[in-house]
Structure 1
Amino acid sequence: DVLNITVSGQQGHGGMPWNTVDPVVASAYVIAGLQSVVSRRADLTKSPAVVSVGMIHGGSSQNVIPDTVKMVGTIRSYDPEARKQLHADIKQAAEHIAEGTYAKAQVDILPMYDVTDNNDALANQMLPVLKRAAEAGVVPGSLQGASEDFSYFAKEVPGLYIFLGVTPDGEEPAKAAPNHNPKFFVDEKALVVGTRAMAAMAVNFLMSGSPN
């Protein structure tokens, strides 16, 4: 989910902060406080959760305290109830922390993608197919923090989401640069494996006569 928070204060001179309400300081407290939403409010025995602020914008000069600061972040969760609770706790925390510095926080959360959940029966059916296509180079995927609109398709019909390894030979996947990184590199030989896997799964599924 997308998190938008606008912290409003009162603009003034940076050399006379007592005449202002500083939204920059308030925003710093809000960002720090949001981390306790996960560490102290979310039941992590039921579902992991993440709250990250990726952008913060405010101010126009080094000696001017601005009126507002805007921040944008992301919320990741794996359970509908945990998701609902996160939204409520984030809103409460941001608003109350800002009030503690005499500022105000406006919290807007845009719900995005549901959890991508593989169908167990389909995954078991396709595992031997994938092993042949990838020459046995198949491992179970771990729980991911990324989001994917494939979840919408998987809610309508049985779905199976797979990752295609693109790390060049001789390089350790754990040390390779991930996506969202300027050094990310795709070994295009992986496209052969990916095409073979998709074709093999399609043929297997059609030949199985599955009503789905």
Structure 2
Amino acid sequence: MPIVNRIAEFGPDMAAWRQHIHAHPELGLDCHQTAAFVAERLREFGVDEIHEGLATSGVVAIIRGQGDGPVTGLRADMDALPMQEETGVAYASTVPGRMHACGHDGHTAMLLGAARYLAETRNFAGSVALIFQPAEETIGGGRIMVEEGMMDRFGISEVYALHTDPFADAGEMRTCPGPIMAAVDDFRITVTGKGGHAAYPDSTRDPMPCALAIGQALPTIVSRNAPALSPVVVSLTMIAGGTASNIIPETVTLGGTVRTLDPALRDLAERRIGEIVAGQAASYGVSAELDYQRSYPATINHAEQAEFAAGVAREITPDVVTDLAPEMGAEDFSYMLQARPGAFLFLGQGKGPSVHHPKFNFNDAIAPVGASFFARLVERRQPLRT
């Protein structure tokens, strides 16, 4: 079965909604205008309940089907990124330094499309909870919504999400059981010595050699501590210290990120960074402080739900990949999958500029594919009794 005909009919509406959101990007938890736009559309569709203000600006809408049944959650993120747009499209960002460079405008439009169809047809038992979430790119609006009790409040039994994929052909859907995206941690290391004149290093405790030694040692966590085929990333991305060629600085700072799929390897990386920092500081006679912050956990699909979602995807598109290799990017949908069974899938939009690139732009042509997937998923998961 291809794209749902009724959803295809309002494809132009989804494009218009998406382009409106694209032109008015908002950041973090402050997605109030986007949330108001979403709520206005949902009222037009005649959904049964609209709950606003979750995680500051999140929205959950409930559509009741026919008769008793479970509640399936469908999630879309709404926030943009703090970067300058370079697409040149007529509906480009109207806010300097902000743009929808990760497809969240498209995710929101697709879920609105599914909402319109489901509110019209109600060809399912139980209910569907439409989750419009802020702050995926920053502090984890998904985490906040879960911590606020969203799953229990709305009786959500399973949860699903889509993310646009500029590395796959338009309409191709990709997923896998188990880990699909990585956990993300950030670290900052401050090495402190005793500054002074660079011509008299013996009168100082130079923090620079220690900082360089730490930077050289960090990659050994991957090459010498983790199993050879384990997906682990330890990236040093920042180093700062000194103001002039003849001054030995008092402090040098380093920073970076760690990406893992296995919780045990996550623990290993944190432990080894701490050991390297302490050991090198002792070796060079300086002090060093590690600030290690754990952020989003790995996004881990539940096997049964991933298989089910892939089956639904095959009804919409012939191009479905079910053995996708996990990616080392991160997603705060991980918190929802920790709270409830479910699955996360990628929807190809055609190969082009990557997400988080100033020329990225969501492909409106795939919106009916995503909306059809969401709608069919609810109908297949919660069929009417005959």
TM-score band w.r.t. shorter chain: 0.7 to 0.9
Q: Secondary structure of 1:152's match?
A: helix
Please say which of residues 179-188 and 17-26 is displaced more in the overlay. 179-188
Q: For 2:372 and 2:198, how far apart are their aligned partners in 1?
A: 62
The equivalent of 1:32 in structure 2 is 216
Higher relative CO (Cα under 8 Å, sequence separation at least 6) belongs to: 2
* Count of equivalent residues: 200
The equivalent of 2:356 in structure 1 is 180
Asked if residue 202 in structure 1 is aligned to residue 378 in structure 2, the reply is yes
The equivalent of 2:365 in structure 1 is 189
1:55-103 CA distance string (max 9 Å, x none): 2222233332211112221111222222212211110012212332222
Shift of 1:162: 0.8
> Runs in 1 of length 4+ with deviation above 3 angstroms?
180-186
Equivalent runs, 1:11-160 vs 2, <5 Å: 11-45=195-229, 47-133=230-316, 135-140=317-322, 141-160=324-343
Structure having the higher strand fraction is 2
1:139-177 CA distance string (max 9 Å, x none): 23211101111111111211100112223xxxxx4xx44
Q: Would you say the 8 A contact 1:5–1:105 is kept in 2?
A: yes
Q: For 2:206 and 2:361, how far apart are their aligned partners in 1?
A: 43
TM-score by length of 1: 0.83
Please say which of residues 194-203 and 112-121 is displaced more in the overlay. 194-203
Q: For 2:327 and 2:239, how far apart are their aligned partners in 1?
A: 25
What letter matches 2:321 in structure 1?
Answer: V
Unaligned residue ranges in structure 1 (runs of 5+): 168-172
Q: Would you say the 8 A contact 1:33–1:94 is kept in 2?
A: no
What letter matches 1:137 in structure 2?
Answer: D
Task: Provide closer, same or farther for how the CA distance between residues 192 and 179 of structure 1 changes in structure 2, counting only shifts above 3 A.
Answer: same
Unaligned residue ranges in structure 2 (runs of 5+): 1-184
Shift of 1:11: 1.0
Shift of 1:208: 7.8
What letter matches 1:3 in structure 2?
Answer: F
Q: For 1:190 and 1:14, how far apart are their aligned partners in 2?
A: 60
Q: What CA RMSD, in Å, does the superposition of the two structures yield over aligned residues?
A: 2.1
TM-score by length of 2: 0.48
The equivalent of 1:170 in structure 2 is none
